[in-house]
Amino acid sequence: MFRSAVRLDSAAAPASPLRAPASSSRPFVRSSLCAALLATAGPAALAQTAPPAGVSTQAPVVVTGTLQPTSVQRLAADVVVIDRETIESSTADSVADLLRREAGLQLSRNGDAGQPTALFVRGATSAQTVVLIDGVRIGSATLSQAAFENLDLNSIERIEVLRGPGSSLYGADAVGGVIQIFTRRGTGAPRWNAALAAGRYASRQLSAGVSGTSGPLDYAAQLAHERSEGVSALRPGDRFGNYNPDRDGFERSNIQLQAGFKPAAGQRIGLMLLQGRLENQYDASQFLPPNFAQDNTPDFRSKGRTEVAALDWRGELAPTLRSQVRVARNLDTTDLGAAVIDRFRTTRESLAAQLAWNTGSFGQLTGALERMEEKAQSTSYVRAVHRTNNAATLELTGSAGPAAWQADVRRDAPSDYADATTARLGGSWALADGLRLKLLAGSTFRAPSFNDLYFPGYGVAGLKAERGRSIEAGLAWRNATSEAGLTVYRNRVRDLIGYEPDRNLCPTDPAYDFGCARNISRARIEGATLSAAHTAGAWELRGTVDALEARDERTQQRLPRRAAHQASASALYSLGDWRFGASALRVGERPDGGKRLAAETTVDLQAQWRLMRGVSLQARLLNATDERIEPARDYQGLGRQFWLGVKLEGNL
């Protein structure tokens, strides 16, 4: 019962846009709930196929907007692609920072890069966003969100972000969108790579890997390690008195493996393994007997682990038939606290199969079936909890002349809340060479998390899933050197699950004397995203601008931690063996826990020098203006930080 009163206003804590923190007068309930909210796992998603190696088209081929690889130029959906070259040229120091700079997402975090992180896709919370790694869904069945802080950039080949409705393809929680991370995969002759970097705050990074093909085999393996002493996660004078002046650093290790075997032309059997481990320090308080006085002096630590394993087969059954079968498992564990340790373990196992039929002029018809099972165990739960879900999806995509279309429908049949049917319909039209008009509408839902349903003294069985309806329109333009896009959208969500403080609206059990989970409100989220990129000789320029209006329709208050405006810009200049870059990010003011966080502007600088074949040096100056960063109320980010590193690569 005596849990540490940890990160109540955690960036990871809200399970819905309206989830309010518990009262500071409830240290035991507050600490137990917050601890549970930091656990990780979630339901499985339908397996996806990475874009074929060597595909070279003017528009990137993506798989996240549909169930099969499709040119992004043909999609009605708004999909952003972040390739390996962009990752290597970015100054971002984490997966979350990369996403918000390149894809226009917003971020909230409990301190610096190693702390719990939440991403808002079009104003929707992390709990309303599906995250996949090589088609395998990751995230927390208790908290219902992914632990981005457990992942390392060195293992990533590319990232695709679907901004907009995705439940009709991916099921529960794809209200704001879908983030799919593809790990490195072997192509071409065997190669090796290594990188080493050191920076301020006693920070250091190390990575090494090999990849390639040998006959019918392809393989890729990557190891990465990073650590930093950081700064105190909290600022002095935080509202709950948890501040401790010690440094709250982190240490992260990642292992990634991809292996494939092609027994015949058009066939591949693949194995994917990934493990991410993170240990971070944080500020909190514990209330121990006999006097139960607040004590914020211990060294609080969180140890998290994310594991993903998948075995799949994909191939051609006939010239017009392609099939894929995948079995996958995701394990997430979290141990956190000081004198008392709260432990969480969640697992997800899935089996998915899909069949795609190219009908010709009618388009491509794809059907998919999925079975997934989730389990959660915790020292905070009375018993282990369990959920199963069976789903079926049908999708049609096609094009004829200037027109392209996509339509999909999905039926989810979970074991612990009502069945859900979602659909999406969209199309695009070529107005001129390289210019397309896009329209898309879809329905979505978010499943109640295990915390919402079962957490002692908070969860209530029988909660309804959140339901949403989204519509968007956009223009996309592309030529050989430039691209630009504008999308406007509106998303309305009802039956939002949040904290209900009125005792009379909660179960009669005395455990609910301080409130409970309940379907309490509606949200209206609308906005626009403008993006552009241009290459002119030695220059590479890109930028995004986001405008967002996100409100609780019951109170007309702005939803917490969403800035009304955010903009990013970057420039790269190549001169012989040298490459210079600069990027800037502007985040507007946003409400958080009764306080308005000030607007922030951060500027990063970098220089790369190709010393010789296979050897390059890199210098980075992050937050060059030493901006005071408050990523969530009372938390602080890093100040100015200088990095110096070396990258090596060559043939085996």
pLDDT at 148 over 50: yes
Residue owning tokens 């060597």: 54
pLDDT, average across residues 609-630: 96
pLDDT for position 19: 34
pLDDT reading at 23 higher than 80:
no
Percent of the chain with pLDDT over 70: 91
In angstroms, the CA 173 to CA 167 distance is 7
- Kind plus residue range of the DSSP H or E element containing 87: helix 84-89
Higher pLDDT residue, 103 or 578?
Answer: 578
Confidence of residue 598 (pLDDT cuts 50, 70, 90): very high
Q: Residue 477, class by beta-carbon neighbours within 10 Å (0-12 exposed, 13-18 middle, 19+ buried)?
A: middle
pLDDT at position 29 over 70:
no
pLDDT of residue 393: 98
- Residue 104 binned pLDDT confidence (cut-offs 50, 70, 90): confident
pLDDT at res. 295: 95
Residue 22 above 50 pLDDT?
A: no
CA distances 441 to 387, 475, 530, 608, Å, are: 30, 15, 19, 44
> Edge-to-edge strand order for the sheet containing 294-295?
4-5, 285-287, 294-295
Cα dihedral 144/146/147/152 (nearest 10): 170
| Mean pLDDT calculated for residue range 118-141 | 92
Higher per-residue pLDDT: 27 or 116 = 116
* Helix, strand, coil percentages in the chain from 3-state DSSP, rounded to 5: 10, 55, 35
Confidence of residue 383 (pLDDT cuts 50, 70, 90): confident
548 touches 535 (CB < 8 A): no
The yes-or-no verdict on residue 292 having pLDDT over 80 is: yes
What DSSP character marks residue 329? Answer: E
Q: Is the pLDDT of residue 47 over 60?
A: no
User: 513 to each of 507, 547, 573, how far by Cα in Å?
Assistant: 9, 40, 61
Non-local (6+) Cβ contacts of 429 within 8 A are 402, 403, 404, 436, 437
- Residues 466-508 have pLDDT tens digits of 999 999 999 999 999 999 999 999 999 999 998 899 999 999 9
Q: Tell me the domain boundaries of the chain.
A: 4-651
- Give the homologous superfamily in CATH for domain 4-651: TonB-dependent receptor, beta-barrel domain (2.40.170.20)
Contacts of 276 (CB under 8 A, 6+ apart): 147, 150, 151, 152, 252, 253, 254, 305, 306, 307
What is the mean pLDDT of the segment spanning 267-277? 96
Q: What is the mean pLDDT of the chain?
A: 89
Residue 26: per-residue pLDDT = 33
Strands 267-282, 300-318: pairing kind: antiparallel
Instruction: Place 416 in a pLDDT band, splitting at 50, 70 and 90.
Output: confident
What pLDDT is stored for residue 33 in this prediction? 37
Phi, psi (degrees; rounded to nearest 5) at 37: -65, -15
Is the model's pLDDT at 121 over the cut of 80? yes
Say which residue, 439 or 382, is predicted with more confidence.
Answer: 439
pLDDT of residue 34: 38
Q: What is the predicted pLDDT for the residue at 93?
A: 87
pLDDT surpasses 50 at 56: no
Cα gap 601→603, rounded to integer Å = 7
pTM of the predicted structure, to 2 decimals: 0.90
Share of the chain above pLDDT 90, in %: 81
Residue positions counted in the chain: 652
